[in-house]
């Protein structure tokens, strides 16, 4: 799949942008969009010309969450539907060798919060907010949102946010460590792109290895982490990029990373 109906996909300066594009429906996730998103995430991973990806929403909202006008279609239960339509792209981002930046504009609700928090980094417009809408309609957070919220907020604060169907402003997200940056709404797109293009000049081997390990650190002991670091570092020490970067450092030149 190369052309999408409900997603804008573009690549420039080694940065891929995946933009949810149903602004009239506040970018609510429906089946076709979810399937397109699976393909777009796979496309990011297999494109050697992409080093960083941005996930955002067109219009005045990042996403209102799942499209509630849809049912389970032909699936026996939500378990099968989730495995087919949500898990592939969520885990694709989680396991990607490349960094994802969520550029959050306006409302970010329901499964949209899981999509944004699952990215490696987040920049939010100053008028954006995260809304855990599930409890308000008799549901619980999904898409891995429980895991993400507890890891970012701690159990008590995460539970309160979920059961109260609460929301967090951009500045609250920044103070709690959910967001990395808060910027004026009019500057969100450009600042996200500038950040992504700066990161795209960095070492893809280092970025990939660091993401891989930090994603797994919660399940590792301190000693296991040291062992993992040494094994991964050993590979990078002998890489062409590291050898050239060290030489550039001593020559007071800017390193150029090729990903090998």
pLDDT single digits (tens) 109-143 = 999 999 999 999 999 999 999 999 899 889 889 99
Say how many residues make up the chain.
260
At residue 115, the 3 state secondary structure works out as helix
Work out the number of other CB atoms within 10 angstroms of the CB of residue 160.
Answer: 12
pLDDT score recorded for residue 72: 61
Distance (Å, whole) CA 150 – CA 255: 38
Distance (Å, whole) CA 139 – CA 128: 23
117 strand-pairing partners: none
Alpha helices in 62-121 (DSSP H): 78-85, 87-95, 111-118
19 strand-pairing partners: 8, 56
DSSP state of 196: H
167 strand-pairing partners: 131
Distance (Å, whole) CA 193 – CA 165: 32
pLDDT score recorded for residue 1: 47
Q: Which residues contact 13 (CB under 8 A, 6 or more apart)?
A: 197, 200
> Does the predicted model carry a pTM greater than 0.75?
yes
pLDDT score recorded for residue 113: 96
Classify domain 7-200 by CATH number. 3.90.226.10
Q: Which residues contact 175 (CB under 8 A, 6 or more apart)?
A: none
Residues of the chain where predicted confidence (pLDDT) is lower than 50: 1
């Amino acid at each position: 799949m190369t052309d999408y109906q409900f997603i804008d996909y573009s690549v420039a300066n080694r940065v891929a942008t995946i933009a949810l594009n149903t602004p009239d429906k506040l970018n609510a996730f429906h089946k076709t969009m979810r399937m397109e998103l699976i393909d777009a995430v796979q496309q990011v991973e297999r494109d050697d010309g992409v080093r960083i990806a941005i996930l955002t929403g067109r219009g005045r909202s990042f996403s209102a969450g799942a499209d509630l006008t849809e049912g389970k279609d032909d699936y026996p239960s939500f378990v099968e539907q989730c495995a087919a339509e949500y898990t592939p792209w969520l885990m694709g981002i989680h396991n990607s060798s490349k960094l994802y930046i969520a550029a959050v504009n306006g409302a970010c609700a329901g499964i949209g919060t899981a999509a944004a928090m699952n990215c490696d980094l987040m920049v939010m417009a100053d008028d954006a907010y995260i809304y855990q809408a599930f409890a308000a309609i008799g549901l619980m957070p999904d898409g891995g949102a429980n895991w993400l919220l507890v890891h970012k907020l701690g159990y008590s604060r995460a539970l309160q946010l979920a059961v109260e169907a609460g929301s967090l402003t951009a500045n609250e997200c920044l103070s709690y460590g959910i967001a990395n940056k808060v910027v004026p709404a009019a500057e969100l797109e450009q600042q996200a792109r500038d950040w992504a293009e700066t990161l795209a000049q960095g070492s893809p081997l280092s970025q990939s290895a660091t993401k891989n390990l930090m994603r797994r650190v919660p399940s590792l002991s301190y000693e296991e982490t040291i062992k993992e670091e040494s094994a991964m570092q050993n590979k990078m020490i002998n890489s062409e990029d590291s050898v050239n970067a060290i030489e550039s450092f001593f020559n007071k030149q800017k390193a150029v990373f090729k990903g090998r």
